[in-house]
Structure formats: C-alpha cells, structure tokens
Structure 1
Amino acid sequence: MVGGSKDDFEHVLPIFDSLKPEGDDGLVLAGPVGGGHFAKMVHNGIEYGMMQALGEGFETMMRSDLIDDPSGVMASWRQGSVVQSWLLDLFALAADDDPALRSVPPVANESGEAKWMVAAALELGVPTPATAAALWARQVSRGAGSDTLRVVSALRAEFGGHVTKRNSR
C-alpha cells in the first residue's frame, strides 16, 4: 500500500518489487501522498475486528459443554471453511503447545491504528461498530482477562511480535 503520484510510484516500483515476496501481487498504489498510510490504518482496523471475532468464537467454545477441543475445531477451519485465513494458521501455531492458551496473558493492547480508523470514519460519516467494539475490548482487557483476549494476544504475538507481559495478579 503506497501513496504518491503515479509517476513517482512507477519510478520506485523496482525497489518495491525487490522487497516484496516472490509471487506476491499485494503491492498497490492506494492514492496520493498519505494514501498508503491511510490504507494500512484501515487494514489494521479490519484486523482488530477479525481477531476479536476469532477470540469470541474460541471463548464461546471454551465455555460450552458441547465442544471438547476448541483449538482443534478452530484449527480445522483452516481448510475449506469460509473463515479460513492466515490468522487461523497463526492461531494453530499459538495453540499447538498450549491448546487452552493458558500461558498467554488475557490482555491485548492497542497500538493506535483502530483508534485512528474509528476517528477518521466518524469524520467521514462511516459507522464502524465492529472495529470500535474490538478497540473497546482491548481497552477493557487492561483490567480483566478472558479467553477472547488470549486469542487476540496470541495472534498479535505470532504475526507481529506484539508480546504482552503477564499481569501480576
């Protein structure tokens, strides 16, 4: 996601092409200067909502008497499911040695992008209830913990090295 003029983008395209993984078609000129940053901010806001939904599904299964292996169920969704994703691959990695994620602190900090996205969306008149709810859940996690936030915290650690230290409670 790059912002700038088309001429500047084409001029530096060889550099961007050399940096991206082979076969990756994910490079896009998002718009004028600032467009790349704005697109990345929106991307991260969407990510908040997706991780929150996965965490909520995990916690629902953890509390149910009907599911014996919530981690196994979620890992099974990695193939042939409408929710299959890299995030589920990362969940499976996080849950491999700790299926209940008990070693993962139930806290998920926020790094600002979803807050910025919600503010920008409000300014543009776009309702963003899923992103806002995920943002608030992270805020709430600072004082309490749940299995939902264990999943979000584990996913953040897997894809970005965002490790949250355990609360001293």
Structure 2
Amino acid sequence: MLRMYGFDGGTPTHRAYRAITKAAPEILRTGGERLDLTALPRWTEYRAPRPARGDAWYDLLWTDPADREADEFDDGRGRTAELLRRRAVAPAGHLPMPPVIPVETRLAGATPVTLDGMSVGHVTLLGGPERALEVLRRRRRLAVKGDRSTDIYDWDAWGRNAVAVISGLTMPKEW
C-alpha cells in the first residue's frame, strides 16, 4: 500500500498523491499486505534537518503495515514523519522535485486581460484604455513570474516519473 503523509513545513502532498494516482491507480497497492511504501515529504523550512533538494523532495521508505495507524500520533509538527523513520524497514529511495512549467507557457494558458470591471475613472487614471491594458498585462506577468504556489509545477509529468521510480523499486526480502 502506498502511503503519503504531509505536515506543515514539508513539500506538498495533495497534488503529489493525486498525480501518482492519476498516472497509475494500481500503484497504490505497492507492497501489498507485507509492506507499505511510505512517501515522506522533505522539509522546506530554513535549516531543516532533512531539507528538500531538487533530487529529493520526498523520501521513500518501506514500512511495516502496523504503521498504517500512525495518523493518530501526528501532532502537526512532523511527529508522524519521525515515527515512521524510526520504524522503517528499509530506505527505498527518493522522488525528485516536479518540473516547473515555463512562465511563457503559464502566461499563454491564462485568461486574456480585459478592462471589464474597471471604472472609467480608474482607466483614465492609468492613462486610457491602451495604457491600462499594458499596465494590467505587466502586473499579470509579474504575478505569474513570482508565483510560488503548487500550480507552477507540472504534476502530471511528475506523477508519471514517480510511477516509473516506484515501479522500479525492489521490495526487501526480509525485515
């Protein structure tokens, strides 16, 4: 069974889990009854003990199925992650950071800028319709370029890559 735990200060898990299940729903049965494959996010906070890196946003661990009840131990500060690290059967690998969608591609997919909803006074203040559109386009470009949300990542491509990595793992024979 594939498990993914999240915590504040860690790499995102909802979009990652959704991308994996979209790419290959059967991957959720990895490990079966004998073992779980647990994906733990790495820390994104400054000076974290296990910081996220480009090649390792998530740690993969083979864990005992008894750890399926570990949710009740989470105190919101990553205690589940530390509990699972202590009870892990064997390290399995890492999943990398998702690829970033280029700014130009994200801009091309954005809705066109219009003056809808702006008052005549506001348009006049910005220098007329053409100048107002130019200002709004520049602001949108800056907003898209400075975006640091999970929307900037190509989660579908990442999910396919994660499935390939997980499918290539070898389960430990003894634990």
- Give yes or no for TM over 0.5: no
Larger Rg: 2
Q: TM-score, normalised by structure 2?
A: 0.25
Q: TM-score, normalised by structure 1?
A: 0.26
Higher helix share: 1
Higher strand share: 2
